[in-house]
Structure 1
Amino acid sequence: MFLILQPLVYLILSVSLGLGFFRLVKGPTLPDRVVALELIASLTVGLIAAYTFFSGQTAFLDVALVLALTAFLTAIAFARYLEKGGQRDD
């Protein structure tokens, strides 16, 4: 089961990361780019979690936790920036 599941999980997450990078580069507005960055951060946390699960090394969970918290704080900072009258592409 793991022989099929592991490459499939990595493939799906990698394709999703590629699409996220495409939206980051192509995104017509600033909020699109920020959402793409959030998606990339979430998918990276997913990749780290999948690697941790398949390899059995739990040391990487700390890295995933820090990345998730940093991404959350970045989203809050962006929302406050727009609320205060920052640059809008609407």
Structure 2
Amino acid sequence: MSAKPVPPQPPPPDFNEKPRSSAWTIVLAGVGLMFAIVALTFLTLGYFSLVVMIGAGVFMLIGAQYLIWGWLLERIYRNGRENLEE
């Protein structure tokens, strides 16, 4: 056996304390993204802006489908459940 003493254990973490959050992280990420998009648009002579517009259009279409179908299917599901209970 080793004659060295065992160091004391560190205290357990306090999981009740929540980490501080800040909106500056999101703001700085957005500013950085905008700088990157502008730089890539200049470097590619405007072709990158077309890619960004197509990507934004696809994401808007996905978001619209999510909102419309989510709202519609939730309404159908809830009305069907109410009709079964009656």
TM more than 0.5 = no
Which structure is larger by alpha-carbon Rg, 1 or 2?
A: 2
Which structure has more relative contact order (CA 8 Å, sep 6+)? It is 1
TM-score (normalised: structure 2): 0.36
